[in-house]
A and B are shown apart, each in its own frame.
Chain A
Amino acid sequence: MSSRKQPKGKIRPPKKPNSADAQFNDNWDRLAQAIREIHKKNASILSFEELYRNAYNMVLHKNGDKLYNGVREVITQHLEEVAVSQVVPAFPLSGASSSQTNPNGAGGANFLKVLKTVWEDHTTCMLMIRDILMYMDRVYAKTANVPLVYDLGLDLFRDTIVRSQNYPIQNHLLEVLLQQIKLERENEIIDRTNVKASIDMLLELTDASTKDTVYATDFENKFLETSSEYYRVEGQMLVGEYDAPEYMKKVDKRLNEEEQRVRHYLSQTTEPKIRNIVEEELISKHLKTVIEMENSGLIPMLRNEKMDDLGRMYKLFGRVVKGHDEMKSAISDYIRELGKAINETVTSNTTAEGGNAASGDKQTGATVAVRWVQEVLDLKDKFDKVQNLALSNDKAFQTSFNEAFEYFINKNSKSPEFISLFIDDNLKKGLKGKTEEEVDSVLDKTITLFRFIGEKDVFERYYKQHLAKRLLLGRSVSDDAERGMIGKLKVECGYQFTTKLEGMFNDMRISSDTMTDFKEYLDKSVLEKPKLDLSVTVLTSTFWPMNLSASPRCNLPPELTKACGTFQNFYLGRHSGRRLTWQSNMGTADIRGSFKARKHELNVSTYQMVILLMFNDKQDGESLSYEQIKGESDIPEADLKRNLQSLACAKYKILVKEPKGKEINPGDQFNFNNDFTAPLQRIKIQTVASKVESEGERKETREKVEEARKHQTEAAIVRIMKDRKTMEHNLLIAEVVKQLQSRFMPNPALIKKRIEALIEREYLERATGDRRVYNYLA
């Protein structure tokens, strides 16, 4: 250590050069000895003041580097000793043998405990060393750009102990840590304190090249790798052994455990990484398998309404990228499948019915419609519940469910008619004994189905027909309910959709006023009063679904014809220029029938009245043939058959038919049933007010719809072109589709045809030069 160099620079207070060296050696010897004493936990015999002063003098006399290197050497020596005497003897038996001889990892735990003590001793000593070398840190370390002595101590510990070149401490440490974690994963109780101490130690040590913690460089990757492998194996084992709900519980538990583990003794930076691994190995890789598990997967959960399990699946699968997509598409497929089954029961019912369509048990037809809607509503309820209870009302799921409903509802071409019939069923007076609130809530739900209908114009047509019958036959449960329903439709489709429906209501109201005036008119006039009470409802032809051109024929009895004439004169006298057409297929009549037992008041349709009045002229027992009735009344054949059926084959048999049977055939004979009895005085002969249409009627409705669509399409084209004046073909088509899709989905071929028709009628022209562009002709 001694050197003979002359001190450089300015002359110092009288000190011999030799004595400076001697002073240094003396100072250093004391310091080195003191550090050794600190290591031996003998600090109480040391004087801070003296040691500090020694270090201070050494730095002051430019011996900072010697001091610094000396300290490094002493600490390194000490740590080498610690490695040999404490750490290496604590090595657990390595490899496979260790897990056999030490199934609980006791050797490992002891090793960690030793390491914990060694680390704590080291840091305690380093704090004291830092105290006496404070002047060196402040003055020398800064200028020489070397680590502060405490950090030097950490680096020495890292290189001498944790990453020792001489002993496999690092291997043992990592192996033990991973083994401890593995034991804990397998439900062994481990001493977390020891593991945490080692982890904290690794977190405090810094890797020189990466500037990252030794935890990150040495431990974390190994931990993640072994975890991946562990959960890969576990995933395969679990899917093989457990059903879906159990599997998900296990995964939930694992995720929770890993999170807890990180919180208790690993670094927070590891949390997302280990979470990803568990999610990848236990969720992503087994998504389909779990969803498709027989008897316990997603579909069985839905079938048995296992909301907890579904909720768990939603939460778990939401953690991975494809999770919710897979769930969504599986549920949607299931909805489509269930919807298809509902549609199939309907078609099989109606085709079965088709066999005896002539017998026309039309009530069943309506029942099929009501049942179809009810089943769809039940399905909707079920999935609303799933959505609400298990899927946190996830919008994306809702959208995909809606698409599935829309798909199968529109697969049933009769759905617009069915939904209208269902509403009809609920709005009819005195049916089912439901309260108004119940009906209202059913109708609200029905509106949700209405939203799914693509052909809203078809629905409107049926709704009009059914509403007309309810209004004219006085079968609405209440005006409020009807208006409420129209209000709901208005909200869905806007003002345009419901104007005609509201017009129908208006007609009913005006007619009632008209009838009051008519009675007054009769009272005041000198005319002979009709021998019957006539009540007329005047309908605006454009609002109502009647077909004017095919106005039904019927030979009314003279009394009635006369009364009609009186009204006609009264009405046309007030509103000149109007034309009245009598819709004899829509009316009802109250007539009195005298039977052997008693008299009954019969409420019948106009046609039935016409038929029954024919028997007034007949003797008892005298019969009329089908052909006679047909010839005399001139009622259209289908209506005639239906009305005869109501009179002769239904609940109240006012007429007796020969031969007996449910169907009306040419050649049948009819007798007035004088023996008729019934408990009630007043009897209503049920006419079939609503029914599923027959194929013929359906075709007719179709044609009407197509015709209406042509008009609407042309109107839309003209509206757009009037606004834009000139437009390119594809843009025009797109705009038309946009305007019409709330009512129906127009196909481009239809639009193209309408454009051509409009060109022909000179509303539009093709632009000169570009045949793909149209101009509007004012």
Chain B
Amino acid sequence: YRGLSIDFSHLLDESDDYDVIIYAGKEPNVRKFHAHTVILRARSPYFRRALSRDWAKKENGSIVFQKPNIAHEVFDVILKYIYSGTADLLAQEGGIILNLLTASDELVLQELIIYAQD
């Protein structure tokens, strides 16, 4: 599935058809991410609910989602993991990994928890 994984991660980098904007991190360390609800909802039970019609908030045609309690460095890893199914954990500092574990638990990313623990 490597090809699939790589192609999907490109979606994240070069996306011009995103439909959700996510702001991760606390002011002033906020970063803006572009993503696709269909992928987020398929991969995470948390996002399945968060981005459902009942809860999603739209601004100018896109859904806007704030995630202030997760640092953007951590969220970056998470988002890549959601898209490609892999995460380059060796390149990360230990502190980030610990935060990654906590965030994965909050977002119910069972797979990533197991991956990070290994």
* Interface residue ranges, A against B (CB under 8 Å): 43, 46-49, 52-53, 56, 127-128, 131-132, 134-135, 138
Contacts and interface: CB of A to CB of B under 8 A. Distances in A.
Interface in B1-50: 45-46, 49-50
A128 B55 CA distance: 9
Nearest to A48: B55
Interface residues of B, number: 14
A135 B106 CA distance: 7
A53 B46 contact: no
Contacts of A138: 108
Q: Which 6 A-B pairs have the closest CB atoms?
A: A48-B55, A131-B49, A48-B50, A56-B106, A128-B54, A49-B66
B81 interface: no
Interface of B: 45-46, 49-50, 52, 54-55, 57, 65-67, 69, 106, 108
A53 B55 CA distance: 14
A52 B54 contact: no
Contacts of A43: 54-55
Given A43-B54, A134-B45, A134-B46, 8 more contacts: A46-B55, A49-B67, A52-B49, A53-B69, A128-B55, A131-B52, A135-B106, A135-B108
Tell me the dominant secondary structure on chain A's binding face: helix
Contacts of B108: 134-135, 138
A49 B66 CA distance: 7
A48 B66 contact: no
A97 to B, nearest CB: 44
A131 B106 contact: no
Contacts of A128: 54-55
A770 to B, nearest CB: 87
A53 B106 contact: yes
A505 B110 CA distance: 98
Nearest to A128: B54
A49 B50 contact: yes
A121 to B, nearest CB: 14
Contacts of A135: 106, 108
A48 B49 CA distance: 8
A48 B67 CA distance: 11
A339 B50 CA distance: 85
Contacts of B67: 49
B68 to A, nearest CB: 8
A194 B76 CA distance: 51
A134 B49 contact: yes
19 contacts: A43-B55, A46-B55, A47-B66, A48-B50, A49-B65, A49-B66, A49-B67, A52-B46, A52-B50, A127-B54, A128-B54, A128-B55, A131-B54, A132-B49, A134-B45, A134-B108, A135-B106, A135-B108, A138-B108
A244 to B, nearest CB: 61
B109 to A, nearest CB: 12
A46 B49 CA distance: 14
A32 B38 CA distance: 31
A135 to B, nearest CB: 7
Contacts of B49: 48, 52, 131-132, 134
A622 to B, nearest CB: 130
Contacts of A49: 50, 65-67
A745 B112 CA distance: 90
Contacts of A127: 54
A56 B106 CA distance: 7
A43 B55 CA distance: 8
Contacts of B52: 131
Contacts of A56: 106
Contacts of A48: 49-50, 55
Contacts of B55: 43, 46, 48, 128, 131
A320 to B, nearest CB: 53
A47 B65 CA distance: 9
A52 B55 CA distance: 11
A708 B55 CA distance: 103
Nearest to B22: A49
Looking at A48, A52, A138, the one whose CB has the most chain B CB atoms below 10 A away is A48
A323 B108 CA distance: 63
Nearest to B69: A53
A49 B67 CA distance: 7
Nearest to A138: B108
A56 B103 CA distance: 11
Contacts of B57: 47
A138 B113 CA distance: 15
Nearest to B67: A49
Nearest to B51: A48
Contacts of A131: 49, 52, 54-55
A132 B106 CA distance: 12
A213 B57 CA distance: 38
B33 to A, nearest CB: 14
Contacts of B45: 134
A48 B54 CA distance: 9
B95 to A, nearest CB: 13
A569 to B, nearest CB: 116
B80 to A, nearest CB: 20
Contacts of A53: 69, 106
A131 B50 CA distance: 8
A382 to B, nearest CB: 72
A688 B55 CA distance: 109
Contacts of A132: 49
A696 B45 CA distance: 105
B44 to A, nearest CB: 11
A128 B57 CA distance: 15
A131 B48 CA distance: 9
B3 to A, nearest CB: 33
Nearest to B55: A48
A134 B105 CA distance: 12
A49 B54 CA distance: 13
Residue of A47, A49, A127 with most chain B CB atoms under a 10 A cut-off:
A49
A304 B49 CA distance: 72
Contacts of B65: 49
A47 B69 CA distance: 14
A52 to B, nearest CB: 7
Contacts of A52: 46, 49-50
B52, B54, B57, B67 — most chain A CB neighbours (10 Å): B54
Contacts of B50: 48-49, 52
Nearest to B102: A60
Best-surrounded residue of A46, A53, A127, A131 (most CB of chain B within 10 A)? A131
